[in-house]
Structure 1
Amino acid sequence: MFLRKKLDKQISKSDIFSLALGAIIGWGAFVLPGDLFLSHIGLQNTIIGMSLGALIMIIIEKNYGFMLSKHAVAGGEYAFTYYSFGRHHALICAWFLGLAYISIVPLNATALSLIAKSMFPGLLEKGFLYSIAGYKVYIGEILVASLALVLFAYFNIKGVKIASALQKVMTMFLVGIVFLLLFMVLNNPEIGNDNISTYLGLSKLSIPKILKILTIAPFAYVGFDCIPQAAEELDFSPKKASKLAMLSIIVGCLIYVMLNIITAFAFTQEMILSSKIDWATGDAVELLLGKIGLYSLGISLLMAIVAGINGFYMAASRILFALSRAGAINSWFSELDKKTKTPKNATLFVMAVSLITPWFGRSVLLWVVNMASIGAVIGYLYTSIAAYKLAKKENDKTIKVTGLLGAIFSSSFCVLLLFPGLRTSLTMPSYIALVAWAILGIVFYRKQAKGYKSMKKETLDKLILNKDSKKLKNAS
């Protein structure tokens, strides 16, 4: 007889919205306008690509919402995949999705150095250690990233209420400041349209460049799928959670677009490519609105980074908890804090892994994160097919359409990312990291998952879905 551990229902609607939105808007929204969007893609192509990406994510989210209404348990895609395809596919899905969530935690933590470099040059560049893949590693940057990782692990262990309250405050500042900055730029009579007009016109449109933006949509909008990970802790209906997830995608898209527009008002593509500009969005705000604007943007970026750390701590720890509760990984991961009933050990594990990564530098970490985009896409693919399969049984025409479209879009993302030779494909280091993670998964499955493979279906149904096998058969 297995005792099924449960998480308390203590996450409100505002909590879950701030969790999803804070996870979506990470450091990339503030850095990519100069590094990729305006410098290589163009403003029009970026807006079209990000808008289409948001629409695709909303279609995929419809599938998440449908499955969530059936299985509101921790683990999200792991539970959805188990119900439709069994334990083996569920483990594959969770294996790659877990990597995506875990890798984004330290990526956000190491992004704290980006703020210091732009606003306080040289502040953290103390104690040079070595260079890896062209990135200089400093002990000062490692210490700051480590402090943030430990601090938010502590907040997550001390309770969902504390972590959620922090998330709401951070997300409010993040969104409010970006809206305020755009308002100030648009209403400043001294700011002309000369620079932004260079990005406009039919001749600037490019389908290959729009497709390039579409390939990063799974990474840009990853965060809305944090909601299913915390499904077991929601104190309201899953249908409302789905609507909040869609709203988070829309607001996330607006933030991406607004930051690009602000930057385009200050610099042409040629100016950004001149290599005289380190942080295009930061330099743009300082040029247009002065130091006060720059410091305001810095606060917004700080909120985005720490909100991302907090959000993905919650998502990563919940999927590890769900795997452990089902017997797929060691039971240590599903141990709960006695007072707060949060997955303490899973959170500590995410922290421990994250504390290692800053020592390798951001270049190496970016290889892993680029590869981890595949993890998010695999989650989208399994969920969409699972939704289509179940909708077909229930004759739900709307979800049959969104399920099929979601599967097509997710498969297309996989092709664009994995097919060698395409402009959108992964780099060689990312391919190597992907193969290494897959091999590690095979070794783990053969050596460590013996109990999981032999466990009775009736037991797994209860542990993963919290449902009786007979009721599941009747429902199907």
Structure 2
Amino acid sequence: MIFGRIKPLDAILATAEKKSLHRSLGWFQLTLFGIGCVIGTGIFVLTAAGAQKAGPGLLLAFAIAGGICIIAALCYAEIGSMIPVAGSAYTYTYTTMGELLAWTVGWALILEYAVAASAVAVGWSGYFTGTILNQTLGIHLPAWLATAPLAMGGSPGGLINLPAVIIALLVTWLLMIGTSESAKVNAVLVLIKVTALTAFIVLTLPSDQFDAARFNPFLPAGLFGGFGSGVGAVGAAATIFFAYVGFDAVSTAAEETKNPQRNVPIGLIASLLFCTVFYMLVAAGAVGTIGGQPIMGPGGVPFPAGSEELARQCALPQHAQALVCSNEALAHVLRQIGFGTIGNFLGYAAFIALPSVILILLFGQTRIFFVMSRDGLLPEKLSAIHPKWKTPYIVTAITGGAVAFAAAFLPVGKLADIANAGTLYAFMMVAVAVMILRRTAPNVKRSFKTPMLWLIGPLTIFGCVFLFFNLPLEAMLVLPAWGAVGLVIYYAYGYRASHVARGIVETNPDLPADLTGIDYPH
């Protein structure tokens, strides 16, 4: 049976030891990696869209998304410290549920990281052309050089989004040079983001203009917007989930981590707790000072975020200064309450820091490609390690080129929802894998055990499925379509080229004795 083609746990660890990545990351760098991705995307890019979906219920949306991520992180922490190799959910699925499902998970993660990295590159391009070139330097880049030809909503596009291409290629070059160097740069960018957001919280929450009445009604679009609508607090949570993808990137870095049994769980949970609290404080400051009510359409339903209808409403004088109409929401809030200079500096911080988000997303995707190639499911040349840089340079270059191409020419207006579809599927499979390994490998050393797995595991599965069905309908349909393409590639190449299919299963006699005798399902 194809579902029984499982790569044994000892073989996965032996392969990693034979052809391994350089271990250079500690728990602090892992935590910064997670914070770097989480904070950069959600706060600077999705705040206005989340408010348009949920209004002041944006706070609840952050809590819902963060809560589901935290229980998922508990599952990740156990299996990440138990199987400290690159590959994340793909590797975990391979050793528990078989090659076919592992391929679908890896393929979904490729979608998640590539789409998200392209979207953030375009977001950075907006800050660069607007805040830096237009407002600061007085330079107006021609529209045909700063806009994709396939703009969303049928609006006229340009020829190429050149700034997005440039930043994607620069980050790719940085990753090819080396993981340790990338982490050092990321640490500086995280410090800039945290400082800027701390200043925002200090200036808004105690402000004289903060008014609790602005939180009423708290849920103007309701808690649930309905199947496929993508609105309401839960619909906003399904979108905002995009902002928490950083903790998954922490898990993909396990093979490059010193003492992963200790450092992976710390990096996962610390980054999520930190970011969830920060998100809620920033959202409270924004809504409490200038309000965050959505602009309602027919039937009392908010206009879709990013839609032409919303753009027309935001062009009207009565809505022009609304939080939901701003492309740089946090800087806009500070300008509205009299801190224009600091608001501009916060915009600069977003411009400087967003490349760290692209870095994390590219980092995660290249490591997924690396491990799938190492297993024979993709051409093995992709997993070649550069003799000097000690990084998978070929797959990094290919991935960065694809992300740059997508950022240059493809629409990205609603790609956060599309990326979430793949993310939620992968997270669900991790929870399933943890529960299976508790039964099939009960004696393998676990430096971290998920508390109350009988409850946390099913809750993670339910939470992921719940958020998936609160995505917009078109985003839900992308995952099965992308999966169908992946199955064609798998059966055309990976099914026969797989190392497990060819009987190439490496072992390591130096592995601990408690890895032997594992009862794998057949």
Name the stretch that deviates more: 321-330 or 449-458. Answer: 449-458
1:162 aligns with 2:181: yes
Residues 1:457 and 1:50: Cα distance change in structure 2 (over 3 Å): farther
Partner of 2:396: 347
CA contact (8 A) 1:81 1:90 kept: yes
Contact 1:7–1:341 (8 Å) recurs in 2: yes
Which segment is superposed worse, 82-91 or 167-176? Answer: 82-91
- Give the structure 1 partner of residue 304 of structure 2: none
User: Cα distance 1:246–1:136, how it changes in 2: closer, same or farther (>3 A)?
Assistant: farther
Alignment-mate amino acid for residue 44 of structure 2: F
The range that moved more, 92-101 or 294-303, is: 294-303
CA shift at 1:315, angstroms? 0.7
**Matched residues in 2 for 1:41 and 1:294: separation?**
24
Equivalent of 2:355 in 286, 300, 306: 306
Residue 97 of structure 1 corresponds to 109
Q: 1:412 to 1:192 in 2, by over 3 A?
A: closer
1:470 Cα offset (Å): 9.2
- 1:68-93 per-residue CA deviation (whole Å, 9 max, x = no partner) reads 12210111212211111122211111
Distance 1:16 1:132 in 2: 36
In 2, Cα distance between the equivalents of 1:87 and 1:52?
Answer: 32
Shift of 1:237: 3.4
Structure 1 Cα separation of the partners of residues 214 and 342 of structure 2: 24
Match of 1:179 among 181, 198, 201: 198
Q: Does the C-alpha gap of structure 1 residues 264 and 406 become closer, same or farther in structure 2, counting only changes over 3 Å? A: same
Deviations 1:110-160 (A, max 9, x none): 111331465336734433674533354345x72211111111111111111
Q: CA deviation at 1:170?
A: 0.3
Of residues 223, 244, 258 in structure 2, which corresponds to 1:207? Answer: 223
Alignment of 1:10 with 2:10, yes or no, is no
1:387-446 per-position Cα deviation (integer Å, ceiling 9, x unaligned): 11222453999637336534443344335534xxxxx23333x35533431221111011
Please, which of 279, 282, 287 is the counterpart of residue 331 of structure 2? 282
Partner of 2:65: 53
Aligned match of 1:417: 468
Higher helix share: 1
Following TM superposition, by how much is the alpha carbon of 1:28 offset from its aligned partner in structure 2, in angstroms? Answer: 3.4
- Distance in 1, Cα, partners of 2:504 & 2:512: 8
Identify the residue that residue 84 of structure 1 maps to in structure 2: 96
* Alpha-carbon distance, 1:369 to partner: 4.0
TM-score (norm 2): 0.79
8 A contact 1:10–1:234 mirrored in 2? yes
**CA deviations over 1:361-386 (Å, ceiling 9, x no partner):** 4xx33444422212111211111111
- The one-letter code sitting in structure 2 at the alignment partner of 1:170 is L
- TM-superposed CA distance for 1:163, in Å, is 0.4
The one-letter amino acid of 1:285's match is: L
RMSD (CA atoms):
3.1
- CA shift, 1:240, in A, is 2.9
The one of 198, 202, 221 equivalent to 2:214 is 198
Q: Which moved more, 1:403-412 or 1:50-59?
A: 403-412
In structure 2, what is the Cα distance between the partners aligned to 1:236 and 1:316?
A: 23
Match of 1:26, SS? Answer: helix
Mapping of 1:68-467 within 5 angstroms? Answer: 68-116=80-128, 118-119=130-131, 120=134, 123-127=140-144, 130-133=149-152, 134-138=154-158, 142-188=161-207, 191-194=208-211, 196-200=212-216, 206-208=222-224, 209-216=232-239, 218-269=241-292, 274-277=318-321, 278-279=325-326, 280-361=329-410, 364-393=411-440, 394=442, 399=450, 401-402=452-453, 404-418=455-469, 424-428=470-474, 430-431=475-476, 433-453=478-498, 455-456=500-501, 459-460=504-505, 462=507
Q: Deviations over 1:185-221 (max 9, x none)?
A: 3455xx3234x52214778694323322332354221
Q: Is the 8 A contact 2:421 2:476 kept in 1?
A: no
Contact 1:12 1:234 in 2 (8 A): yes
SS at match of 2:504: helix
Q: Distance in 1 between matches of 2:509 and 2:175?
A: 24
Kindly state the Cα deviation for residue 320 of structure 1 after the two structures are TM-superposed.
0.5
| Residue in structure 2 matched with residue 25 of structure 1 by the alignment | 39
- SS of alignment partner, residue 157 of structure 2: strand
Could you tell me whether the CA contact under 8 Å between 1:461 and 1:469 is conserved in 2?
no
1:35–1:201 Cα change, 3 Å: closer
Residues 475/239 of structure 1: CA separation in 2 closer, same or farther (3 Å cut): farther
CA apart distance, 1:4: 4.0
Unaligned runs of 5+ in 1: 419-423
Query: Is the Cα contact below 8 Å between 2:53 and 2:236 reproduced in 1?
Result: no
CA distance in 2, matches of 1:360, 1:427: 24
**Separation (CA, whole Å) in 1 of partners of 2:415 and 2:497:** 28
- CA 1:22 to 1:36, structure 2 compared with 1: closer, same or farther past 3 Å? same
SS of equivalent residue, structure 1 residue 42: helix
The structural deviation recorded for 1:455 is 3.1
- Matching residue's letter, 1:23: C
Q: Is the 8 A contact 2:108 2:479 kept in 1?
A: no
Q: Distance in 2 between matches of 1:466 and 1:412?
A: 40
Could you say which residue in structure 2 is the equivalent of 1:421? none
**Higher mean C-alpha displacement, 80-89 vs 169-178:** 80-89
Report the TM-score, using the length of structure 1 for normalisation.
0.86
Q: What is the letter of the counterpart of residue 198 of structure 1?
A: R
Give me the whole-angstrom Cα distance separating, in 1, the residues matched to 2:414 and 2:74.
30
Cα–Cα, structure 1 residues 123 and 449, in superposed 2: closer, same or farther, change >3 Å?
Answer: same
Say if 1:159 and 1:342, in contact at 8 Å, map to a contact too.
yes
Decide whether aligned partners of structure 1 residues 470 and 99 sit closer, same or farther in structure 2, where only a CA change above 3 A counts: farther
Number of residue-to-residue matches in the alignment? 460
Tell me, yes or no, if the aligned pair for 2:239 and 2:417 is still in contact at 8 Å: no
CA contact (8 A) 1:461 1:467 kept: no
Deviation, structure 1 residue 246:
1.0
Q: Distance in 1 between matches of 2:337 and 2:450?
A: 46
1:155 partner amino acid? L
Overall identity of the aligned pairs, in %: 19
**1:391 aligned counterpart, secondary structure:** helix
